[in-house]
A and B are shown apart, each in its own frame.
Chain A
């Protein structure tokens, strides 16, 4: 398996534009996680899915952020409208089971987002 695939790897956009980040989890993994990493706030769990259903989105910073998982092999994280403070590295991860089971999470390479 190719591992967790994220696209694009880098995204530069202007404030107010819509941004869509994409993730393809490892085949057979039932859980998918979206994380954000910034210098100011460190690592944060934004949202996670189980079998394509969002389980906990309490980490999503505000209504401008939305995430979907239309099928087991694809998820998107959308920011609309984007703001400079959204600049960060966004990681997607997948695992066979959730946080509380000890199953290893496999991380994608991340998408570095810059909002000008």
Chain B
């Protein structure tokens, strides 16, 4: 199967700081999504981004499929950004889905 590695595994930020989360994958993918799980366990879809760049408010994501990585940018972080960020990919030709182990973000006031 495909390996999905996220870095860093843990990140502590002061409110207002910017951050970049990375997702590397070991094989070609059909699509890639970013999810956020808040400290209470609720999961939210952030981006569907198999390639290119998208922005949604303070969050943006870029996927460079040819180089097998995706980046999630968080600008002017807020305490509500805390939680775990997962990337997930669908492997080409296999219709299999794989999640990374996540980046745990803690934004301090």
Contacts and interface: CB of A to CB of B under 8 A. Distances in A.
B31 A100 contact: yes
Interface in B1-39: 30-31, 33, 35
Interface residues of A, number: 21
A42 B33 CA distance: 16
B95 interface: yes
Contacts of A56: 95
B71 interface: no
A110 B42 CA distance: 8
Nearest to A45: B97
B46 to A, nearest CB: 9
Contacts of A89: 41
A80 B105 CA distance: 37
Interface in B71-90: 86, 88, 90
Interface of A: 42-45, 56, 58-59, 89, 91, 93, 99-107, 109-110
Given A43-B102, A99-B90, A103-B48, 16 more contacts: A42-B102, A43-B86, A43-B99, A44-B99, A45-B97, A58-B96, A91-B43, A93-B43, A99-B97, A100-B31, A102-B48, A104-B48, A105-B45, A106-B45, A109-B42, A110-B43
